[in-house]
Amino acid sequence: KNMSAGRQEAFDHFRRDNQLNKKLEEHKRILKQRYTEAKTLGEEVNQCRNRINHMKGQYEQMHLRLAAQLTQDEIEKHRGLNELRTTMEQEQIKYRECFNRLKNMKQEIEHIQHIIEKDRLQMLKDFD
């Protein structure tokens, strides 16, 4: 809201002593922290996805190479291929966990943003 200089000064004084402002500042601090956590999680999700895609490529190449040399039964028992599959499955689990945490964090961030907006409006209403 645009306020005159005198009204802005009165509001700043009101806000300094207002309990709601202390809550508002705490929510802003938490929101900033959640943004940082979400950014880190987002980077982790992308790294997991990149590692999974890289491993898929390796797996397909190895499988094709082995298919030219071995029977289907021998391919299924091939140690290197199985280790790569296991590593890929573990990475997919990690990806899903990070993705779900990121999804939950998004909801939490939206909730905190809503609370901040509600507190801001309440403080302006209390001032008027």
How many CB atoms neighbour CB 45 within 10 A?
20
pTM above 0.75, yes or no: yes
At 76 the pLDDT is 86
CA distance 114 to 120: 10
**Residue 4, pLDDT score:** 84
pLDDT value at 49 more than 80: yes
Angle between helices 79-127 and 5-17 (to 10 degrees): 120
Domain range for residue 31? 5-127
> 3-state DSSP call for residue 3?
coil
Domain count, the chain: 1
DSSP letters for 106-123: HHHHHHHHHHHHHHHHHH
Mean confidence (pLDDT) of the chain: 93
Condensed to tens digits (0 to 9), the pLDDT of residues 54-73 reads: 999 999 999 999 999 989 89
Structure tokens belonging to residue 120 = 């801001």
pLDDT interval class at 83 (50, 70, 90):
very high
